[in-house]
Chain A
């Protein structure tokens, strides 16, 4: 399984755009990149998933370069409520097997007023 590396923590201020980059140098052809958000004492919450180029939804954007060895989660205009831990996961399609999600330590984002 591809290992992911992301910053342990980041600080930001309300209204700023936040970009969290994740490295996954040994990503495989069948791997998808997924980001989850977790608030204290709550379950992880899906944010966005992509395979290549750019994906955007109502919450975030995900940028994936052509070599797919990294990805960047972009949160536009963060608010205090975006303070959470953000996990980058690389999930392989086992072709019929229901694989598990491998969580790393994530990036603890602190948004200040």
Chain B
């Protein structure tokens, strides 16, 4: 069964550093998403991406965040200057169609900002 993959599984960084989280969505999917989950809290939507542009973003997704699909397979989330409060699990998801289609989530990247 095809699945969403994410790398790395765990990233440790110093405050102020840039990080890039990588995702490989399911190959025939057209819609891509990033979510995050701070330890013990809810899963929160960050951004959705379709046709090489952002479709929707939340208040969390400020100017420090950016997304990119650099090639035909990868989907990346960049945090330009990490803060302590960016420490969380970051989940990538993809779906074939829009909101009523199933979103398949990756295993997540645990980001720890020191």
Contacts and interface: CB of A to CB of B under 8 A. Distances in A.
Interface of A: 32, 34, 38, 41-46, 49, 87, 91-94, 96-106
Interface of B: 4, 31, 33, 35, 42-45, 48, 50, 55-56, 58, 89, 91, 93, 95, 98-100, 102-108, 110
Nearest to B43: A103
A100 B42 contact: no
A97 B55 contact: yes
Contacts of A49: 100, 102
Contacts of A104: 42
Contact of B91 (A44, A99, A100): A44
A92 B99 contact: yes
A103 B98 contact: no
Contacts of B103: 46, 101
Nearest to A94: B99
A106 B50 CA distance: 28
Given A93-B98, A100-B58, A44 B43 contact: yes
A102 B45 contact: yes
A41 B110 contact: yes
Contact of A97 (B58, B98, B104, B105): B98
